Amino acid sequence: MGEAKQKREAAIVAMPVTRREARQEDERRMKAFATAGAAMVAIHESLKERSAKIVYMDEAAARVIAPPPQGEWRIVDGGRGRFALITKRPDGRWGIPGGSGNAREVSDTPAVGKIPLELWEPEIINGKIAYRKARFGNAIITTAIN
């Protein structure tokens, strides 16, 4: 076994069970994908902070739940494969911008044409998991699935 693989395996063993199980599930489903304008990217192989969650959606959904350039916002996991954008109102409460529904379907599995959304810093808002940091990737152009 190569040194890099041994280090990865040691890191996996050191993770709490839930994170280790999540990583094993990620690796079982897929090893890598390529996005438009980028080389093949191996999941969890970079030195950046590991995402708390990665979901995949179509371009229309990404446009709807993209955070605004100003103000406080969160991306909320509404359950049943639906995510939504919420913002902090002037009265300090959280709500859907403009009062209209913006929940969109997402998937845990990468697919060609889908846009990856990496999420960090989860917290609970109104009984739901909400993420403070998010980064949309480029559309996936190919996958390498086990």
Helix (H, G, I), strand (E, B) or coil at 21: helix
Write down the pLDDT at residue 120.
94
Instruction: Report pTM.
Output: 0.68
Task: Report d(CA 19, CA 25) in Å as an integer.
Answer: 10
Write down the pLDDT at residue 6.
58
Q: What is the mean pLDDT of residues 59-79?
A: 92
Write down the pLDDT at residue 97.
83
Q: What is the mean pLDDT of residues 22-51?
A: 56
- pLDDT (tens digit per residue) in 95-138: 988 755 678 899 999 999 999 999 999 999 999 999 999 999 99
Tokens of 12: 């996996």
> Is the CB of residue 86 less than 8 Å from the CB of residue 130?
yes
Q: What is the mean pLDDT of residues 76-97?
A: 92
